[in-house]
Structure 1
């Protein structure tokens, strides 16, 4: 019997293997991304591997410059999509993404509880404050990070109270005496706060004996504190083990300050996987995916994040710590900006190298470009070091990366004693109880 800690593993339903030039492959099935069948197939495969959950990230805007060369941020509504996936699966958790900046809490509480009922207790909520999209919701500008997280904290408490406002126990369904519900147990929440006014109660009862787990995406100082106060899982960019260790320790300290156990706040970084039978083939897959990177757009992104203009940078001159300007007061994403600055402070990279690092080409997630052995070795190394409590897999480059992960990497993790051989429960919350 292994004494290793059990990992929690999710699978991203965002088709990351179609990013860059990967969608141009003949076997990409890019035509199917707006069909529920696309997500259902991934969810079924993930359920067969006994993963904890599938996860659909989301944004509420459409950058046309990205859409021109790939699917970008165009996608089905995540909650509607997962309702379709719910009918085609039976055990795997279903994590949807909903912003607390743009939507009314009553609608969000009802949608999530509806997904919970439809899936028989498998819903999860990825709480985001959003970084863009204000113009689509009548806002003149995005609120500051501090205001967004203050609203998110109030919003989340309102949703939790709405779920409690109509408890499952209030349903009597007593045909003989003609009593459908005990209305004495169904109470308004009468919330009148800084950002929100909601009377309640919710017009949907809570699902029986299965809470809806909360996920928080972000690693800024404000985001960490919010996550430590409410989240079951924290989905955050950790491009290297040192970053993951620092975040894991900080979340533990913050959880204790909020009166919670550190074990109740689990860190699951994103893991971008470019897998192939050999390291050479994996590297070729990675380079094929990113060989036509939009250099001008990446340079503009770097300038926006950290204020460093590399548009005329010499190809033979490394970019180093002394080249960094002072940190910006209010970057669009403080987490991403800090990780990019951290990379340049720690490593001197030529421009060609910098443009291929995850802090630039993606959301700064942990990345493995290699074989199944390489992936297993890194996962076990991070897990044994106490840097992670699991991860969210985001295969890249080709559908083959997803297949290798589910059919070879996961079974190897089972053999190593860090992942379940079979489901013990039927709800998402029960999966998280596996230690």
Structure 2
């Protein structure tokens, strides 16, 4: 962690509107459970989505012993355990700690790091970000200041292909040419170009500078975009890096692009197999098949993706072995077909897991899956109420349950007024989509 140093007074900025949170951060973790209608919920942070076979087996055993038996993937490549019984906190923490999934009790909710899932596997990235991932997680857990980060604060490590760089992280590090890296903060108009080997330290420096800036401004904020001083924050980070002997040069920010709607390609991808879990839910059978496959490989690991998928590195993968493995995984209900409509369909937990939900949105989404092809390729997200928990960013079609039954649809396009339609039942989905989709 960098030593504190004098910083200039903050200037005003017109890039963002200040947000002040009037309550504490209630984001769940493994030591702070959330009470849901189907039991307690734990969110296990998995930096970069990377799990060893031993850790994957421990998660499955814990879900079966203490929860509903399933593993629920999040849009940050983390895992949620649902249906946990009252009073299971100690047993849960003991199980996860023994598997190495709880390296720091004080940092367990802030280890939110997404990373390019195929980095180092398909030859497309500019560098393998795994060393960045290990270094950043270690540094994060060693930083006393970082304990104050919100459970919603997000780091992204992009290998240069632009997949996780479009996930609206608070701190993004993207591999650049000639061994360099670009550091991006929220929506700041500038980026910092710095030596690639300094990327993990720069990412942590940025997070610590955010905390200090927020504290000095008196704002109670959780995300960088809630702070109306983002470019000034970037200047502070550059000064702190310079004091540590790290040369960081400011550059105008260029368009990073949006992440692919369905994440990595499905099927056999060079030295890996890639599958999708419908609605992010993995049954005990599916998890067992994935873990068993990973246990036969040299790397013995699984990578969870921010698109609710799983990548298994398989060095030296042959066509015959890939076809056999994909067939087995497909039989369990995992999606291996790149043309599947499941890649564009998401949903909140809905009934019966959430008391605020007005409908069993997951059942309705499954029943109307065939109509998902009428979205024009946009993500289709089902929500049980107006909160729209977990909805994707950017252009999409929202299907929101309304009081009295039925749903309201809206096509959300940034910068444009939404197009809306209503439907009484899921059988009308295709017609309603036709009204709002050109």
Do the structures match in fold with TM over 0.5?
no
- TM-score, length basis structure 1: 0.26
- TM-score, length basis structure 2: 0.26
- Larger relative helix fraction: 1
- Larger relative strand fraction: 2
RCO higher in structure (CA 8 A, sep ≥6): 1
